[in-house]
Structure 1
Amino acid sequence: MSTPKPAGTAPYRRSVGTARGLQRRQQLLDRVTDDLAENGLADFSLRRAARAAGTTHKVLLYHFDGIEDLLRQALLGLRDRRIDNALIRARAIPTLAGRVRAIWPVLADDATGLRVIDQAIGLAMYDPKRYRHLARDAADQYIEPLESLCPSHWPAARRREVAELMLAAMRGFLVEWRTNRDSERIDAGLAALERALDREEAAG
């Protein structure tokens, strides 16, 4: 997998904030996000993004602070889609452990768009100085939805601790799934996580 190619920011001051400008920016971002979901991170570049958006690289640089900003925004959009699908599955389940079990198939889905999200974490590990923000964005984006799955009467600090536990565990399961496809080991880990969450919930 090649890393996204760097590019400079727009050499002129952008006019931002107008309704028309924001609408155009979102339209371009949606097209680039769809391309990223379909074709993955390999060879992602400003030229490819412009082609997918049906515009020029200068127009993209008018709306975004370079290719890395565009990649970041596209990944945020893909992650929002994954989170929405996961929450739809989870909220109908009465127990915390059951909610986590319901979320796992959404995370492990092999659709290209979802694999791209996990590949971005690989970029953060490969070149943390340049891509650390991709991993931090992911953590920040997942924590609040995971907290929302915890019992509402729990103190905020407890919900955050348990959400961090769920996030760390499922990230580990995802690495195992993407690299080794060892479903037996993942099932064992999920079962242990469920038992831990059952004990946590039983504690009141």
Structure 2
Amino acid sequence: MTYRRSAGSPRGEARRRELLDLVTEDLAVNGLVDFSLRRAARAAGTTHKVLLYHFDSAEDLLERAVAQLRELRISRSLGAAADEPTLAGRVRALWPVLTSGESWVLDQAIGLAIYDADRHGGLARGGTQQYLPALVSLCPPGWEQERKADVAAMILATLRGFLIDLRTSGGDPVGVEAGFVALGRALDREEAAG
């Protein structure tokens, strides 16, 4: 068990949120390359010791900042998908949000998790835990929960594949567009099955 003196104190929690916001803003601009506690401290206008007072470690701070960036991305994505009448349309509406803004930073987080799963695996697991409920919420309300979870997991895996293809192809969207056509057909069939 770790001990964080700010835990439980309203003043301490407010300061912790403020520090996390400042570090998250830095990540959104500068990415994860060369992330360190000292860099985070500079971005937050404090010292690395103060950050360790409020967070368990540099990895804890990094995971929390990446999670905060993801929450912003998820919120914008769901907003973009809200007016689409079909599941395929809702998933398609997510894509521009998933590939804009801070998406390159979140792609770096997945890369770190792949490169060093022991140290940074939480970045990928955290993403899955954040994205799946959002994708489940896009499924038709009449579906059984297990079916929603299965379809959401398939959508997440497919979109991650599309992101990797887009990033490794130098931004050429041809493969992704073909993939979206096939994904749309599969989701339309799934939705038609009731």
User: Aligned letter for 2:152?
Assistant: A
Pair 1:148–1:13, CA change in 2 (3 A): closer
Separation (CA, whole Å) in 2 of partners of 1:124 and 1:202 = 37
Q: TM-score, normalised by structure 2?
A: 0.96
Tell me the equivalent position of 1:89: 80
Could you tell me the percent identity over the aligned residues? 60
1:136 and 2:121 aligned:
no
Tell me the equivalent position of 1:190: 180
In structure 2, list runs of 5 or more residues that go unmatched: none
Of 18, 28, 34, which residue of structure 2 is paired with 1:43? 34
The answer on whether the counterparts of 2:113 and 2:120 sit within 8 Å (CA) in structure 1 is yes
Q: TM-score, normalised by structure 1?
A: 0.91
User: Aligned letter for 1:88?
Assistant: G
Of 133, 141, 146, which residue of structure 2 is paired with 1:152? 141
Of 110, 132, 156, which residue of structure 2 is paired with 1:167? 156
Superposition RMSD in Å: 1.2
What stretches of structure 1 move > 3 A for 4+ residues in a row?
none
The answer on whether the counterparts of 1:108 and 1:177 sit within 8 Å (CA) in structure 2 is no
> Where does 1:55-66 land on structure 2 (aligned, <5 Å)?
55-66=46-57
1:69 and 2:60 aligned:
yes
1:13: how far off?
A: 5.7
1:14: how far off?
A: 2.1
User: Aligned letter for 2:86?
Assistant: T
Pair 1:81–1:50, CA change in 2 (3 A): same
Aligned residues: 192
1:25 and 2:25 aligned:
no
Separation (CA, whole Å) in 1 of partners of 2:48 and 2:90 = 43
The answer on whether the counterparts of 1:125 and 1:132 sit within 8 Å (CA) in structure 2 is yes
1:106 and 2:97 aligned:
yes
Tell me the equivalent position of 1:201: 191
Tell me the equivalent position of 1:6: none
Separation (CA, whole Å) in 2 of partners of 1:79 and 1:15 = 24
Separation (CA, whole Å) in 2 of partners of 1:128 and 1:56 = 28
Pair 1:135–1:105, CA change in 2 (3 A): same
Tell me the equivalent position of 1:4: none
1:16: how far off?
A: 1.6
